[in-house]
């Protein structure tokens, strides 16, 4: 029988394929695509997903060693700077590995402990983890639409 941690990791990794699989076909010119009236580009969305993954690793799961400047969260809108495909891909891989490491270190009991954040109040770690899964897939869906219809 698998642990809760193993099951949650499988769920997250599978859900994240909605995001990650799109990156294989993205070109540098796709990064600036937007779908008006939205101001957020594909590059911004890629960076934002990774920013929030790192914030989750640090603030929800306690990975205090992670240093993150979540500029997309701070700025709240696209400043036009997310145009370097190579660095975005590196950041995506970094955020994946860091969140995966800290999630993998959770015990079954850890998932039932509560945490409080200003963004979504008091939740168990399991409930909070649902937020990162849905956050990533939500923005992956936005990316797919922008890539298909944006310019």
Supply the mean pLDDT for the chain: 96
- Binning pLDDT at 50, 70 and 90, where does residue 83 land? very high
Residue 118 scores a pLDDT above 90: no
Query: 4-149: which CATH topology?
Result: 1.20.120
Show me where the domains of the chain are located: 4-149
pTM, 2 dp = 0.94
- Residue 42 has what pLDDT? 98
CA distances from 119 to 32, 67, 73, 145 (A): 28, 19, 11, 26
């Amino acid at each position: 029988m698998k642990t809760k941690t193993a099951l949650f990791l499988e769920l997250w990794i599978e859900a994240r394929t909605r995001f990650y699989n799109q990156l294989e076909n993205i070109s540098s010119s796709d990064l600036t695509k937007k779908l008006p009236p939205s101001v957020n580009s594909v590059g911004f969305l890629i960076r934002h997903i990774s920013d929030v993954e790192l914030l989750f690793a640090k603030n929800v799961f306690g990975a205090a060693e992670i240093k993150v400047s979540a500029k997309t969260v701070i700025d709240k809108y696209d400043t036009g700077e997310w145009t370097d495909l190579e660095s975005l891909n590196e950041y995506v891989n970094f955020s994946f590995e860091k969140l995966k490491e800290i999630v993998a270190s959770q015990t079954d009991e850890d998932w039932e402990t509560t945490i409080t954040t200003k963004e979504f109040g008091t939740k168990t770690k399991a409930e909070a983890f649902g937020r990162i899964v849905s956050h990533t897939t939500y923005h992956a869906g936005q990316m797919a639409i922008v890539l298909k219809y944006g310019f």
